[in-house]
Chain A
Amino acid sequence: MFSDLIFRLRALFRRTAVENELDEELRFHFDQQVEKHMRSGLSQQEAIRRTRLEFGGMSQVKENCRESRGTNLLETIGADILFALRQLRRTPAFTITALLTLALGIGANAAIFTLVHAVLQKDLPVANPASLIRLGDANDCCVGSGISDSMSYFSTDAYEQIKNNTPEFEELAAMQAGFAYRPIVVRRENSQDPPRSSSGEFVSGNYFRTFGLQPFAGRLFTDADNQQGAPATAVISYETWQTRFSGDPSVIGSTFRVNTQPVTIIGIAPRNFFGDRLISNPPDYYLPTETMPALANVTYPHDPKENWLYIIGRVRPGTDVAQLQRKVSAILRNELVSSGRLSPDHDKIKLAQTHITLIPGGAGIQAMQEQYGDHLRLLMATAGLVLLIACANIANLLLVRGIARSAEMSVRTALGAMRTRIIRQLLTESVLLALLGGIAGLLVAYAGTHMLLALAFPDATHIPLHATPSLAVIGFASALSLITGVLFGLAPAWNASRTQPADALRSSSRTAASGASLLQKGLVVFQIALSLVLLIAASLFLQSLKKLQGSDMKLNANNRYIVHINPQAAGYSQTQLDALYHTMEDRFHALPGVTKVGIASYTPMEDNNNGWGIQVHAHPENRTISSILRVNGDYFDSVGTHVLMGRGITERDTPTSPRVAVVNQTFVRKMFNPSENPIGQRFGFPGAENNSAWEIVGVVEDTVYQNVRWKDHLMFFIPTMQEPENRKDPIDKDESLYAGAIVLATDHPVDGMESITQHTLASINPDLTVVRFDTFNHQIAANFTEERLISRLTMLFGGLALLLAAVGSYGVTAYSVIRRNQEIGVRMALGADRSTVMLMILRGATIQTALGMLIGIPVALLCVHFVQSQLYEIAGLNAVILISSVLILSVAAAIAAIIPAQRASSINPMDALRME
């Protein structure tokens, strides 16, 4: 073994010496043989001639020797690579097409897979994510008293019951479910920095410990921070510390105002930690749950009947999860009974059904995963198809190249090249091509991932996703293209090297005169079929997006601005709100150009909703849940909702005037008979004494709230400050009184509206900040971000597929024209005119295209079935989409065929025949 290695190495490093020795050895043999022949009486000349004949090809003998020395592989790879590079440079059209195809195919896939991997598969950057378990498998949010069969968010009381009775968990942490919907306002004390709306998450004291995290600086929470009456503390995220406070170490220990209350920053979270879930704006601050009632002015953290916490725990090694699941479910059922939420007598069935499902918690709360999952998988499939088309293209290019080079191979074989040597050379070329394509693909992937993230999260201030394409993905895509390259580059090489050189040389190009092979045509048919599928998908998603955007949302977004506010975080109590709203109305009306100042709990086309259980007085059997908004007098006009019957809310609807409500058309349709007049009807909370709380004074059209897909939901609107007359709770328990948004309508577009708004609010109260500022149009457009992303990407992929298929089709047709040059020459010499020749060439291309479409249409029909749920109001494949896709593909295929056909028809018969 060792001598073998030395031998090989010597041959490799002392190459010249070894080569010289080989020369000398063979020359010696030659001379001896000549001498021998001369001794037997031949002349020197004759002896040399005979010896030469006996010897055969000297270079072949040498090559065989090199081969058996075993150094050849190492030694020739370098030479092969150089030669391959030279070959690739000699055919720039082929090389560029192949590299572009590979780069786009590999790059697009790597980008998509990177995003998919980051969103769907990645664990949180915490210690040992595998032993984390989440309680609950749904993403119910954010605060609610409902009890679902499979519970996934819990009350503080339930959390503590489970935590105290499960030694199976090393740690069990709780975290605010809906922090994304409840921003906090933060200001650093003694600084010029104005208060800022930030993202803050309330978490249990063992939160960081559960995740096994160490602080970047300072300290993280301990259980002592989460005791009632403990001084308010907060942990700041590394990202926020860097971007907002440029890494100032004095932040630790300093006092911040959170919703105007003093809070001490105790430490900085670890560098990469972005909280317990993937979200486009992760928490800037972490705060203990016990401080929430004081800081956020809410009561539910101490209400045993309100769910608001997600729970993630770390189990001890060797814990039986199935058994643990039964145990936590039992604890929860006990708690539901002891807290009085369910009665063991009346709610027997409900109680038996209620349970908690345990799921792996390493990836945290998978809300984004749930939201984007379907779309990402769709994109993955699309990108995969593009890669297939790209591979087919590469295969075709290599096949054509291989056949075109069969003559070259014959010559090489005739000159003594060994078959294995030729195959190795071609293999080197394919591998090199794949590697170069892989590198180019890496660049495309890098840019593509950045683009994808920007497209997917256009409004995110900070996305905790990294745009670094994963190596595994690049490796996979490169390997696929490599296999394609080797497989399809090798087949013609093998054929070429097997032919008898003499035959091949004699017949020159006529051996393959039949034109493109069946395999090549098959590949083109395959490409056309796939591109049709992708084109149809692209048109479907485009049409779906158009429908979504074009749907009548029954609102007016022109010259409207939505200013999200948070008076609660600014320190206002409920009793101060009436005055605040009046001040806001006055101040904003005073601004030049402002025509309407709407104030409302939330606005159309934003991700927010509040629902109350209601009952109609005249039909007590009609109990349901309706969305509810508190609005002021200008509100309907400010968003462009038309009053259809009766009147809207007006400024005369004061806290003490008769309690009124305006309902939407769906409310009327679902709660009253068609013959009934809804005006004057009464409804309220369920229960005989509550169900006449409000009198309906008007009906408005069904303006779209939340999103276009949420249709037919009931809504009612009540004045900002009116409470039902028989309300028993004190007013300062009613959180619904806090308005969430101001809607400004102006008579012309106003530049710098955001800063004007900021100043106006600050002039009322410096703590009153803009939580989010948007034009109404942008708020609506943001609703379609995901759909737009899907539409754009499927369009991009469809276009890419079309381009690749066209290139493939062009390649095959153009190639067959070259192969049939002489045949065409003969035909024309025998009287065929140019149009006949053109038709002959076009016929082949047309058959391919038609075949591809025939295969593509049923495949597309099948695929539509899978994406149906992701489309908006599009029932399957319609004629418009089908015809337009077929047309686009036909045009592309026609262009790809006409160019070579034109060239065929312009062949000069004399030239063609002389070419031999």
Chain B
Amino acid sequence: MAGDHLDLPQGTLDLLILRTLSLGSQHGWAISERVQQLSSDALRIQQGSLYPALHRLERRGLIKAKWQTTENNRRAKYYELSKKGRDQLEVEKEAWAKLTAAVAQVLEAM
């Protein structure tokens, strides 16, 4: 299990969840797996923070939840982006791009 895991900077978890869900509705476990996979194992989301984040996003109306059956015929709670969530994702993506660009610029200028 040892590896070069990165600590998630503050606020990026929401962005990652929204981004993952923009690919289609998913349940919580799949989201964490997906993030890990997409980041080539560099990012790992702890359950301890994943579920509070999902519930928070649901409360804010950025994602919607519904119970569905998985391929293995188990009931699971699936999350999908709402219209508001889609907009929010665009906003956050842009902000993130600006932030990283700015940070990179500063770092290179040194």
Contacts and interface: CB of A to CB of B under 8 A. Distances in A.
Interface of A: 3-4, 7-8, 21-22, 24-26, 28-29, 31-33, 36, 54-56, 60-61, 64-65, 67-70
Interface stretch (B71-79, B88-96, B99-107): B71-79
A60 to B, nearest CB: 7
The 5 closest A-B CB pairs, nearest first, are: A68-B56, A68-B52, A32-B29, A64-B52, A3-B61
13 contacts: A7-B61, A21-B77, A22-B51, A25-B27, A25-B77, A28-B27, A28-B28, A36-B33, A64-B48, A65-B55, A68-B56, A68-B59, A69-B56
B53 interface: yes
Contact of A25 (B28, B48, B59): B28
A7 B51 contact: no
Contacts of B74: 28, 31
Nearest to B84: A3
B12 interface: no
Given A25-B28, A32-B29, A70 B51 contact: no
Interface string B26-44: 0111000100000000000
Given A28-B75, A28-B76, A29-B27, 19 more contacts: A4-B60, A7-B59, A8-B59, A21-B77, A22-B51, A28-B27, A28-B29, A29-B28, A29-B51, A32-B29, A33-B29, A36-B33, A56-B46, A56-B48, A60-B48, A65-B55, A68-B52, A68-B56, A70-B59
Contacts of A36: 33
Determine chain A's interface SS by DSSP, over half rule: helix
B47 A69 contact: no
Contacts of B52: 61, 64-65, 67-68
Contacts of B49: 64
Interface residues of B, number: 22
Nearest to A60: B48
B61 A54 contact: no
Contacts of B27: 25, 28-29
Contacts of A24: 75, 77
A69 B59 contact: yes
Contacts of A7: 58-59, 61
Contacts of A21: 67, 77
Contacts of B75: 24, 28
Nearest to B60: A4
A199 to B, nearest CB: 70
Interface of B: 27-29, 33, 46-49, 51-53, 55-56, 58-61, 67, 74-77
B80 to A, nearest CB: 15
A60 B46 CA distance: 13
A659 B106 CA distance: 116
Contacts of A68: 52-53, 55-56, 59
A279 to B, nearest CB: 64
Contacts of A8: 59
Contact of B51 (A3, A4, A31, A61): A61
User: Which of A3, A21, A29, A56 has the largest number of chain B CB atoms within 10 A?
Assistant: A29
A26 B54 CA distance: 12
A29 B59 contact: no
Nearest to A57: B48
Given A7-B58, A68-B56, A68-B59, A26 B51 contact: yes
Contacts of A69: 55-56, 59
A31 B75 CA distance: 12
B47 A29 contact: yes
Contacts of A32: 29
A64 B50 CA distance: 10
Contacts of A54: 46-47
A33 B76 CA distance: 14
User: Which of B51, B56, B67, B74 has the largest number of chain A CB atoms within 10 A?
Assistant: B51
Contacts of A25: 27-28, 51, 76-77
A37 to B, nearest CB: 10
A36 B37 CA distance: 14
Contacts of A70: 59
Nearest to A3: B61
A761 B79 CA distance: 101
A69 to B, nearest CB: 5
A32 to B, nearest CB: 4
A30 B55 CA distance: 17
Contacts of A60: 48
A4 B59 contact: yes
A576 to B, nearest CB: 96
A338 to B, nearest CB: 84
Nearest to B57: A68
A21 B60 CA distance: 19
Contacts of B60: 4
Contact of A55 (B47, B53, B55): B47
Contacts of B51: 22, 25-26, 29, 61, 64-65
B45 to A, nearest CB: 11
Contacts of B56: 68-69
Nearest to B53: A68
B78 to A, nearest CB: 10
A285 B52 CA distance: 76
Given A24-B75, A61-B48, A29 B29 contact: yes
A507 B51 CA distance: 35
Nearest to A70: B59
Contacts of B55: 65, 68-69
B46 to A, nearest CB: 8
A589 B51 CA distance: 103
B48 A4 contact: no
A188 to B, nearest CB: 77
A174 B46 CA distance: 85
A670 B28 CA distance: 105
A64 B49 CA distance: 8
B15 to A, nearest CB: 17
Contacts of A29: 27-29, 47, 51
A29 B29 CA distance: 5
A26 B51 CA distance: 8
A31 B52 CA distance: 19
A788 B61 CA distance: 70
A21 B78 CA distance: 12
Nearest to A21: B77
B73 to A, nearest CB: 12
A3 B65 CA distance: 13
User: Which of B29, B74, B76 has the largest number of chain A CB atoms within 10 A?
Assistant: B29
B63 to A, nearest CB: 11
A750 B53 CA distance: 91
Contacts of A55: 47-48
Nearest to A32: B29
A823 to B, nearest CB: 42
A28 B78 CA distance: 11
Contacts of B47: 26, 29, 54-56, 61
Contacts of A56: 46-48
A3 B67 CA distance: 19
A7 B77 CA distance: 16
B38 to A, nearest CB: 17
Contacts of A64: 48-49, 51-52
